[in-house]
């Protein structure tokens, strides 16, 4: 049984989350807490496998409670956040402090999709709790890697663009990778991170502050540029189009129900490989489900390169597992080595 501690000052939210996760026979609600101070005490007493943590609470807020829990009784924490830009920034702070993922607090606005919400919540809780990995802040900030010097006789790889896909655990993984990419990186990087629309802008801004390269939320119709990482906006799906031989533009399309997750990793990778064929480096990182497996397969089939994050560093070994088990990963590497693999591939 997976023991869950639910922390929220709202009785409605405590009851809603309890009701949803209790429908699964493998999950038990070990207890509830009304504020951060109670949460810290109950984590110590109940030893839950995972905690759902509200952000704004009296006595002690979720961020302060998270700091105490990570310092004294580290356990996977799933933040419960409103879908606003202000709350997005706080939630990103929580992910930086060790929370593994977040769920939407706007349950009352999404009653039509309550079954889908319940299934996603249960899937996240089970995958995260079974892994049991707590995301810790590195003691030393990573520094950018130097681009390799290639002699005249060196056969230069034909990689012209990098496509990265990730979900649960992705914000910390992307921070670790992008902060190590050198400023003179010679090709564009396109990234699909499963994330709501209110989060992707602040997330791109945060990565930009931590990275030597420019990181920005992608805009429809803007040209891709070398040495720039484009984060797919959560409002739709990102792909590319080519209007001229030398000009590639970002294409943001609305969600038409074809893809389960938004922004879709498969959509991104399939679009990129259509225009770059054998020149794509595909990277799949930690995440729930199998989004990206079809795109990575197409990248490999068209002569590109594929890298999957290894099990030992994934917060959730779902998306990389789908790629590895399908036999379409050229390399399987721990997170610490992926930035180097990317730099050495271009």
Catalytic positions are 167, 194, 291
List the alpha helices (DSSP H) in the chain: 11-21, 36-46, 62-72, 85-97, 114-131, 170-178, 197-210, 265-276, 293-301, 319-325, 335-345
Distances (CA, A) of 44 to 131, 132, 311, 323: 20, 16, 28, 38
Distances (CA, A) of 100 to 36, 53, 205: 17, 11, 20
What DSSP designation does 278 have?
G
CB 112 within 8 A of CB 103: no
| DSSP-assigned beta bridge partners for residue 68 | none
For residue 168, what are the contacts with CB-CB under 8 A and spacing of at least 6? 100, 101, 124, 127, 128, 194, 286, 287, 288, 315, 316, 318
Residue given tokens 């879709």 in the structure block: 264
CA distance 173 to 286: 8
CA distance 295 to 219: 22
- Which of 241, 232, 243 is closest to 266 using CA atoms? 232
Neighbours of 186 (CB within 10 A): 12
Distances (CA, A) of 163 to 122, 160, 185, 241, 272: 29, 10, 14, 15, 8
CA distance 194 to 165: 8
């Amino acid at each position: 049984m997976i023991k869950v501690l639910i922390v929220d000052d709202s009785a409605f939210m405590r009851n809603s989350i309890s009701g949803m996760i209790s429908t699964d026979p493998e999950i038990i609600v070990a207890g509830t807490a009304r504020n951060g101070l109670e949460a810290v005490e109950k984590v110590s007493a109940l030893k839950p496998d995972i905690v759902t943590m509200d952000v704004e609470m009296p006595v002690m807020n979720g961020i302060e409670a998270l700091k105490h829990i990570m310092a004294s009784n580290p356990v996977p924490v799933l933040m419960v956040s409103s879908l606003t830009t202000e709350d997005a920034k706080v939630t990103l702070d929580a992910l930086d402090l060790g929370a593994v993922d977040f769920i939407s607090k706007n349950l009352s606005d999404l009653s039509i999709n309550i079954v889908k919400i319940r299934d996603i919540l249960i899937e996240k809780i089970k995958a995260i709790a079974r892994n049991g990995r707590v995301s810790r802040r590195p003691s030393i900030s990573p520094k950018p890697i130097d681009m390799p010097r290639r002699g005249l006789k060196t056969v230069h790889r034909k990689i012209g663009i990098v496509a990265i896909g990730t979900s649960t655990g992705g914000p910390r993984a992307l921070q670790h990778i992008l902060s190590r990419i050198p400023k003179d990186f010679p090709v564009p990087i396109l990234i699909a991170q499963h994330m709501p629309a209110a989060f992707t802008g602040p997330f791109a801004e945060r990565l930009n502050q931590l990275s030597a390269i420019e990181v920005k939320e992608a805009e429809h119709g803007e040209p891709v540029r070398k040495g720039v990482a484009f984060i797919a906006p959560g409002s739709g799906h990102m792909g590319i189009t080519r209007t001229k031989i030398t000009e590639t533009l970002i294409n943001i399309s609305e969600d038409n129900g074809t893809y389960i997750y938004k922004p879709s990793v498969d959509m991104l990778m399939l679009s990129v490989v259509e225009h770059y064929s054998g020149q794509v480096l595909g990277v799949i990182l930690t995440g729930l489900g199998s989004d990206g497996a079809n795109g990575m397969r197409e990248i490999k089939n068209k002569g590109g390169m594929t890298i999957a994050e290894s099990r030992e560093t994934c917060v959730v070994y779902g998306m990389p597992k789908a790629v590895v088990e399908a036999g379409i990963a050229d390399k399987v590497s721990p997170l610490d080595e992926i930035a180097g693999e990317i730099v050495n591939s271009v």
